[in-house]
Amino acid sequence: MKRESDALKTRFTMEAAGLDARALTRLRVLNCIRDAGEASRTDIAAALKLSPATVTFVTSGLMAGGLIEEVSAPDTADTAKRGRPRVALSLTKGSYFVAGIKVSRDKMSILILDFDGREVVNLDVALATPQMEPLALVLAIRDGVMAACVRIDVGLEVLAGISIGLAGLIDSETRFVHWSSSLTERNVDLGALLAEHLPCAAFLENDANLVAKAEQLFGEARGLSNFMVVTVEHGVGLGIVLDGRLHRGERGCGGEFGHTKVALHGEACQCGQRGCLEAYVGTSGLLRRARKDLGAEAAGSVAALVDLAQAGDAKARRILDEAGQMFGMGLSNLINIFDPERIIVAGAEHRIAHLHSETVLAQVRSSVVKVDTALPEIRVHHWDDLMWARGAAAMGIEKVSALKVKALAQ
């Protein structure tokens, strides 16, 4: 078995907040087993640099709690010689399920994973309207998760946690939504509604943070401690990971890259202010500008706008060039402030194809403060909606794991 990887150490620091030393050790052992699939006690002791006695104590606690189980492993030459079957540990099959949900404008993507991180079912549910009252959204989430459970012939009670990604200014600790483009109201205690209407632990997170989480666990940021993920869909989001941990800000409102200002008295933004980056770069803003300058036909999709520009339409070209320059300025501001190892631009290919152009890179190069070393790497990662839900589910698994080890008898 491989030694504890950098990615595992990074993950460990992200989820460890609020656990005592004993619970932390349990969590490390649980994550070690999850990452390996199966691991013997000797493997775990070597990977985590723990004494055999500690591993025996911790694994017996995890077994008593139903989180892990013993499985017989194939004989090695060594065990065959000693005549004793080799015993490995794995997560208890089917012990817990976790749902990850990404709420978009027109639909909800739901993914249920088992405790091992394996996909059990995924389902897209159409939303009647992009903005909902808080209670209506919570009930839609409950109905959507129930529909996903029906697909696999189980009830909601099998879920140990539901992890929800929402665009906007969200305090994930208190599950308080300061503002979200998915809600008709500001300042919503969504946590109280989730607790009232969902049968299990529910976690809430800004959706760009979930993408950062997914990039860190199984994407383009594995092994990195300082990186940013810029998400581009209807709006523009940012997940900031510093020293291995998500940086949310004091009020949980940090990372609102889309609402950083790029123009005085500029375009109106969906947040109610003017001159925000996403009013020029996000799909909604881009198409609104296309509608204004070119008419409804050009504003059907980003791809249609790109086609028009490539066919020589000067107005379409100008809108896209301006978006690229604004985006390049935004990326250079991130580099000037954070100096990350890597920036990952994440989104569906049809939304971001025009944002890794020479126009964008030239703007970045000309706007970053001059230092005689290479620029941080900028990578593009094409995502589909399911990957947002995967990030939500991955975070859900981590939070459920922390709750479970915390709840074990001391």
Q: Give the footprint of Zn ion on this chain (CB under 5 A).
A: 259, 269, 271, 273, 276
For residues 102 and 141, what is the distance between their CA atoms, to the nearest angstrom? 10
* Residue with smaller CB distance to Zn ion, 12 or 179: 179
Q: Which of 234, 390 has the CB closer to Zn ion?
A: 234
259 vs 404, which CB is nearer to Zn ion? 259
Strand spans (E) along 17-118: 68-72, 87-91, 97-103, 107-114
Beta-carbon contacts of residue 153 (< 8 Å; ≥ 6 apart): none
Q: How many residues belong to the chain? A: 410
Nearer to Zn ion, 169 or 402 (CB): 169
* In the complex, least distance from residue 408 CB atom to Zn ion, rounded to whole angstroms: 45
CB of 120 to Zn ion, least distance (A): 37
Least Å distance, CB 264 to Zn ion, is: 14
Min dist. Cβ of residue 275 to Zn ion (A) = 8
Dihedral angle sign, alpha carbons of residues 285, 291, 294, 299: positive
Q: Could you tell me the smallest distance in angstroms from the CB atom of residue 274 to Zn ion?
A: 8
For residue 7, give both structure tokens: 């990615």
Specify the residue, 174 or 273, whose C-beta has the smaller distance to Zn ion.
Answer: 273
Q: How far is the CB of 273 from Zn ion (least distance, A)?
A: 5
Query: CB–CB of 397/358 below 8 Å?
Result: no
Helix axes 41-48, 52-64, angle to 10 degrees: 120
- Nearer to Zn ion by C-beta: 329 or 408? 329
Token pair for 80:
């065959």
Question: Residue 187, exposed/middle/buried by CB under 10 A (0-12, 13-18, 19+)?
Answer: exposed
